[in-house]
Amino acid sequence: MATILSAAIWSTDNPKKFYNSRVNILGRQLAIDWPNLHGQKWNNKFWEAQWLKHGTCSLNNFKQLQYFSLAIGIKNKLDILGMLENAGIRPNATITYNYIDIVDAIKAKIGPFEPELYCVMPHNNVVLLFEVRVCRDAMGATYISCVNNSNSCQGYLINIPE
């Protein structure tokens, strides 16, 4: 929505606000490519949190729909599972991998930039790879090292669930 004032157009949309109607255009694709792993795959609250935490840092370059479209494109082009498989790392309920081997497999594609691995430890004391995060600059053009690198997997043997 816009207001015309003194022959200028001023946007009345709050760019930091999350607009469900905009993300719903990509809803089916987001449910496949960026699902909420903690619950329902189609979850606007989850995508709102992603927008507010990550997307708004690129507001000068991308609007909400552009941000999510770019993220889907990057994810599909990146093919993290393919990277891991090229390094002989495959999802398997009984095999574990060293943290550094997983990181090196990712760096083979993205360069010297540090990815972030996020693991969970269910009740059986097996460390499961839950999420792989790679970071890009605000333009979405160049890989950068992830700065909030918690790497909850570091120091453990990691299982990649099937």
- Written as one letter, the residue type at 19 is Y
Per the model's pLDDT, the better-predicted residue between 61 and 40 turns out to be 61
* Percent above pLDDT 70 for the chain: 86
**Contact indicator for 37, 44 with CB cutoff of 8 Å:** no
Question: Per-residue pLDDT for 47 more than 80?
Answer: yes
Question: Over the stretch 103-157, which tens digit does the pLDDT of each residue have?
Answer: 999 999 999 999 999 898 876 778 999 888 898 888 888 999 987 767 788 888 9
Query: What is the pLDDT, as a whole number, of residue 38?
Result: 73
Checking if the pLDDT of 9 tops 80, the result is no
Task: Write down the pLDDT at residue 92.
Answer: 92
Overall average pLDDT of the 49-77 stretch: 85
144: enclosing H helix or E strand: strand 143-144
Domains of the chain by range and CATH?
Answer: 1-78 (3.90.730.10), 79-162 (3.90.730.10)
- State the average pLDDT over residues 34-40: 74
If we measure between CA atoms, which residue out of 80, 105, 95 comes closest to residue 160? 95
